[in-house]
Amino acid sequence: MAKAVYLWEMEQILQQIEAYKSEMAAFEATTPDAVEAFRIKYLGTKGLVKSVLGEMKNVPPDQRKEFGQVLNEFKAFAEARYEALQGAAAPISAAANAGIDWSLPADPTEVGTRHPLSIVRGQMVSIFRRLGFAVAEGPEIEDDWHNFGAMNLPEDHPARDMQDTFYIQQNPDWLLRTHTSSVQARVMETQKPPIRVICPGRVYRNETISARAHCFFHQVEGLYIDENVSFADLKQTLYFFVQEMFGKDVKVRFRPSYFPFTEPSAEMDISCQICSGKGCNICKHTGWVEILGSGMVHPKVLENFGIDSTKYTGFAFGMGVERITQLKYQVNDLRLYSQNDMRFLKQFTGAL
Ligand code: DAH
């Protein structure tokens, strides 16, 4: 008897479910409000799906499984319909609500640009990397030994003068490195030959800031130590570098020079990239500009690190990133690099 009542009720509920389903299928909603009305009506806490699901408690245990499936399917149908309505209505209605025309192009986003010195340092590093040089870095706050002593700068060398070097007040043995040659020292301290490194980094000198001088700038140092390394290797390496950097037409010349850490020493000039050698104020009307110092590593420097100078030889060089950038991009005032003037910096958009 009781079962018959349930069967009858179930029939009614199943019919009701079908009716709700066709109602939902026909439900149209083009605004978020209408979609929300659908949700409240069918899926809300007091919605129709909940109330039909509530019938479960009246179903006799042996029919629960079958009825449960019907109800689950009904619930899934309502949820799928809700999602479909949401998807269809959202973009149009949100735009209409906010009064936005989504077909208009977006405002341009300000994209940062790389600093010219970073761009050029990257180019320099990648050229030497292709020749097998590894990158080494060292501290900007150095001790006297790594910056000067190990590099064979005698106590009374003018470069040690307070004029050029920033010393750390609390400890006069500490200073801001004046050149990246200090990284050479740190590499030789920890590595055995063969050594082939470049050391890019910032260096400091106590100079009055002007268009031609700054209290900090950037260098790339190179060091190559192995058996049978010769001056010809030095020349060829640097010649390859400038050709990669400035193109095949660049001319080079070496002039004898003096550095305490190399013997013999040479400075390298390249044909002026601004006036192509015709003469301008960058090359002081000579057609040549000096870009680096170099030489064969002084035997004393090798011995300072226990490297046998009868077995090993090496070459080293150091050059300024600002100078290379000046020649590459015709930047003629060193102060521009650190003034953060967007009109200057933005010109390097698109450079690698
Ligand atoms: N350290 C030198 C300077 O700052 C540049 C230099 C010259 C580095 C000759 C070297 C070198 O490694 O061999 O002016």
Q: Is 129 helix (H, G, I), strand (E, B) or coil?
A: helix
- What percent of the chain is predicted at pLDDT more than 90? 67
**Domain annotation covers residue 101:** no
**Domain annotation covers residue 257:** yes
* 162 and 244 inside one domain: yes
* 146 and 284 inside one domain: yes
Residue 330: what pLDDT? 87
Question: 184: CA distance to ligand 1 center in Å?
Answer: 10
What integer is the mean pLDDT of 290-316?
Answer: 97
Q: List C-alpha distances in Å: 26 to 19, 31, 44, 82.
A: 11, 15, 19, 12
**Domain annotation covers residue 330:** yes
* 154 and 20 inside one domain: no
With a 6 Å cutoff on the Cβ, whether 293 touches ligand 1 is: yes
* 192 and 224 inside one domain: yes
**Domain annotation covers residue 165:** yes
* 70 and 125 inside one domain: no
Last residue of a domain, one of 52, 67, 96: 96
Region at 152 (left for phi over 0; alpha for psi -120 to 50; beta for the rest): left
Q: Which atom of ligand 1 is closest in space to residue 315's alpha carbon?
A: 13
* pLDDT band at residue 13 under the 50/70/90 scheme: confident
With a 6 Å cutoff on the Cβ, whether 179 touches ligand 1 is: yes
**Domain annotation covers residue 12:** yes
Question: 222: CA distance to ligand 1 center in Å?
Answer: 9
Q: Which domain holds residue 210?
A: 116-348
Q: Which atom of ligand 1 is closest in space to residue 178's alpha carbon?
A: 4
Q: Which atom of ligand 1 is closest in space to residue 295's alpha carbon?
A: 13
**Domain annotation covers residue 24:** yes
Q: How far apart are CA 278 and CA 257, in angstroms?
A: 25
Last residue of a domain, one of 27, 62, 96: 96
Highest mean pLDDT out of 167-176, 237-246, 337-346: 237-246
What integer is the mean pLDDT of 163-171?
Answer: 89
* pLDDT band at residue 97 under the 50/70/90 scheme: low
What integer is the mean pLDDT of 320-348?
Answer: 92
Last residue of a domain, one of 96, 125, 148: 96
With a 6 Å cutoff on the Cβ, whether 295 touches ligand 1 is: yes
Question: 158: CA distance to ligand 1 center in Å?
Answer: 15
* 313 and 214 inside one domain: yes
Question: In this predicted model, which residue has the larger pLDDT, 210 or 226?
Answer: 226
Q: List C-alpha distances in Å: 85 to 19, 27, 168, 183.
A: 19, 9, 70, 66
Quick check: 351 pLDDT over 70? no
Q: How far apart are CA 263 and CA 310, in angstroms?
A: 15
Q: Which of 96-105, 107-116, 165-174 has the lowest mean pLDDT?
A: 96-105
Q: Which atom of ligand 1 is closest in space to residue 180's alpha carbon?
A: 1
* 74 and 120 inside one domain: no
Question: In this predicted model, which residue has the larger pLDDT, 312 or 16?
Answer: 312
Question: In this predicted model, which residue has the larger pLDDT, 282 or 316?
Answer: 316
Classify residue 70 as exposed, middle or buried by CB count within 10 Å of its CB (0-12, 13-18, 19+): middle
Classify residue 294 as exposed, middle or buried by CB count within 10 Å of its CB (0-12, 13-18, 19+): buried
Quick check: 245 pLDDT over 90? yes
* 198 and 328 inside one domain: yes
Nearest residue to 56 via CA among 123, 6, 121, 111 = 6
Residue 2: what pLDDT? 47
**Domain annotation covers residue 305:** yes
Residue 305: what pLDDT? 97
- Which residue's CA lies nearest to atom 12 of ligand 1? 317
Quick check: 272 pLDDT over 80? yes
Average pLDDT, the chain: 90
* 291 and 210 inside one domain: yes
- Which residue's CA lies nearest to atom 3 of ligand 1? 179
* pLDDT band at residue 282 under the 50/70/90 scheme: confident
* 124 and 159 inside one domain: yes
* 155 and 251 inside one domain: yes
Pocket test for ligand 1, best of 317, 319, 321, 322 (most atoms within 8 A of CB): 317
* pLDDT band at residue 112 under the 50/70/90 scheme: confident
CATH number, domain at 121? 3.30.930.10
* pLDDT band at residue 1 under the 50/70/90 scheme: very low
**Domain annotation covers residue 312:** yes
* 92 and 120 inside one domain: no
Question: 295: CA distance to ligand 1 center in Å?
Answer: 8
Pocket test for ligand 1, best of 153, 160, 179 (most atoms within 8 A of CB): 179
Residue 162: what pLDDT? 62
Q: How many domains does the chain have?
A: 2
Residue 95: what pLDDT? 59
